Amino acid sequence: MKYAAHINIMPHKALLDPQGKAVTGSMPNIGLPSVSNVRIGKHITLELEAANETEAKQMVETACTKLLANLIMESYEYTLVAL
């Protein structure tokens, strides 16, 4: 079976996100002064071959915990879609 994973990786809430802070600061410049707390992470998509959904999830977990996210500074969540 072929699956697609849509993965969101975000910096931990307790950590300062300088990118998000800079973007928050520019919101008044486009007429949106009430926008606050912009935080910026990563959205990663990938496709994989697996025997079933359980195996597919294990592969995505491995990818996230070993390479795609650094759990000291980030958290991840994902959705899996059969193609």
Partner 1 sequence: MKIGVLIFPGSNCDKDAVWAFQNMFGQEVVELWHKDTDLQNVDLVFLPGGFSYGDYLRSGAIARFSPIMQSVIEFANNGGLVWGVCNGFQILCESGLLPGALLHNDHQKFNCKNVFIKTETNNSKITSLNEVGKALKIPIAHGEGRFYCNDELLQELKANDQILFRYCDENGNVSDETNPNGALDNIAGICNKNRNVFGMMPHPERAVDADIYNTDGRTMFESLLQLVNS
Residues that bind partner 1 in the complex, under the rule CB under 8 A:
15-16, 18-19, 21-22, 67-68, 70, 72-73
Closest approach of partner 1 to the CB of residue 16, in Å: 6
- Pick 13 or 51: Cβ nearer partner 1: 13
- Pick 73 or 82: Cβ nearer partner 1: 73
d(CA 81, CA 6): 8
Residue 74 near residue 10 (C-beta atoms within 8 A)? yes
The residues, ordered by sequence, that sit 6+ positions from 49 with a Cβ below 8 Å of its Cβ are 1, 2, 3
Closest approach of partner 1 to the CB of residue 1, in Å: 26
Sheet holding 74-82, edge to edge: 42-49, 2-11, 74-82
- Pick 41 or 50: Cβ nearer partner 1: 41
Closest approach of partner 1 to the CB of residue 32, in Å: 20
Find the length of the chain: 83
